[in-house]
Amino acid sequence: MKITKIACSKGLTGFYFDDQKAIRQGAKSDGAMYIGETATPGFSRIRQAGESISVMIFLENGQYGWGDCAAVQYSGAGGRDPLFLADNFIPLIENEVAAHLIGQQADSFKRLAKEIDELTDESGKKLHTAIRYGVSQAILDAVAKAQGLNMCDVIAKEYGTKVSEKMLPIFTQSGDDRYNNADKMIMKAAPVLPHGLYNSVEKLGEKGEHLMEYAKWLKQRVKEFAPYEGYHPVFHFDCYGTIGQVFGASNYVAMADYLEELEKVAAPFHVRIEGPMDSDNREAQMRDMRGLREEIDKRGINVELVADEWCNTLEDIIYFADNKAGHMIQVKTPDLGSIHNTCEAVLYCEKVGIGAYQGGTCNETDRSTQVCIHCAMATNAEQILAKPGMGVDEAYMICNNEMQRILAVRKAGIGVYNKD
């Protein structure tokens, strides 16, 4: 089945682009806005509307596969590609990308996705991660339609995996409205919560006291309003490097002391801490994540560390996983470019015995989320991120419902890859 045409449309994401560096330097929030000077190249304001590009790949039978190009909320931070603005990149997709794909057979997701991932622009640089991300989604969908398979079954066929026959745990994001949104998560029985958005010392507390108080409140809230007996969610807090800001990014003893106290406060609920420090470069981040993991493991502190900052590409993930730099790694899907890298990252983490959390960003779309669910189900990720946005309801609905559809469709025997 040949690819005959490519079309693009400009869209919005489910959140915003935020200048992380400016926020860390003390930009003040004012309603939904931030006040202050920008600090990251490309930003005209500290917070601006997130943009996406829908890419449609048409087949000779009239069907089309589609995906959405989107970049992370904190574009330009932690070694990532710069701010992704749709008008700057649609011409590139409609010309260079289209020229490469049109006329090719939609017979292999992995082959076509890898080709797009290696494609370069006029300057010899790889295409923006957001382009590779969205085009590869469209490729997966087009190949699935050409072969009469579900997207997850295409991945299972090409990577030799088995699609999950059960729901995967969904991790919900609260944003700054961490109290009201936690209530929504509890009502919906979210397996992993609440995120918390502790992206400044002001929010964490000068001694980390605000997170400690919140953990106490969250524990009582779950106990009081648990939707069923035995509801026991994981408490996963995203700290954006602020614990390291308070105690010192290489002060493993002081950070471990704090996490030990947090573990006691949250008990009996299990705690995960994402991004405890930001050490300004990949090697230092790996060293500090490994050092803190060794310290808390040595002391028997039952807190898992989740690698995020400076762990962006497939190569980064392999580097962090090989060095045991954390207990779990967030596979931040847009940062990896083509989604075949997401699949391979999750499978590599599983191979070396480190947790694989298929994440992403609040700044994605409904479509990128749906395709990511197929990747997660095909590779059996340990948990997945509810996205886009930080309002809980819509993101949780998209993730939950897409997984339920996959299970129902496959149970009905539709689009299932049978090895025999």
Residues of the chain by 3-state class (helix, strand, coil), percent to 5: 45, 20, 35
H-helix segments, 160-251: 178-187, 201-204, 209-225, 242-247
What's the rounded mean pLDDT across residues 158-180?
96
Mean pLDDT estimate for the chain: 96
pLDDT, tens digit, 9 for 90 and up, residues 198-212: 988 999 999 999 999
Average pLDDT value for residue range 402-420? 94
Buried b (16+ CB within 10 A) or exposed e, 163-183: bbeeebebbbbbbeebeebbe
pLDDT at residue 77, as a whole number: 76
| pLDDT at site 123 | 86
369: number of CA atoms within 13 Å, CB side?
25
Q: How many C-beta atoms surround the C-beta of residue 303 within 10 A?
A: 23
Q: Would you state the pLDDT for residue 418?
A: 87
21, 110, 203, 332: the catalytic one is: 332
Asked whether residue 11 carries a pLDDT value surpassing 90, the answer given is yes
Mean pLDDT on 94-113: 97
Tokens at residue 230, please?
């035995």
pLDDT bucket at 419, cuts 50 / 70 / 90: confident
- Per-residue pLDDT band for 26 (boundaries 50, 70, 90) equals confident
Query: In a 10 Å sphere around its CB, with 0-12 CB exposed, 13-18 middle and 19+ buried, how is residue 120 labelled?
Result: exposed
Rounded Cα gap, residues 52 and 17, in angstroms? 11
Longest dimension (CA), the chain: 62
Q: What is the pTM of this model?
A: 0.95
Please indicate whether residue 332 is annotated as part of the active site.
yes
What is the model's pLDDT at position 20? 84
Please say if the pLDDT value at position 184 is more than 90.
Answer: yes
Average confidence (pLDDT) over 241-268: 98
pLDDT the model gives residue 76: 81
Contact 59, 4 (CB under 8 A): yes
Please write the tens of the pLDDT for every residue from 33-91: 999 999 999 999 999 999 999 999 999 999 999 999 999 888 887 667 889 999 999 99
For residue 218, what are the CA distances in angstroms to 57, 199, 236? 45, 19, 11
In the chain the first and final C-alpha atoms are separated, in Å, by 23
Predicted confidence at residue 79, as pLDDT, reads: 67
Domains of the chain by start residue, with CATH: 3-149 (3.30.390.10), 170-411 (3.20.20.120)
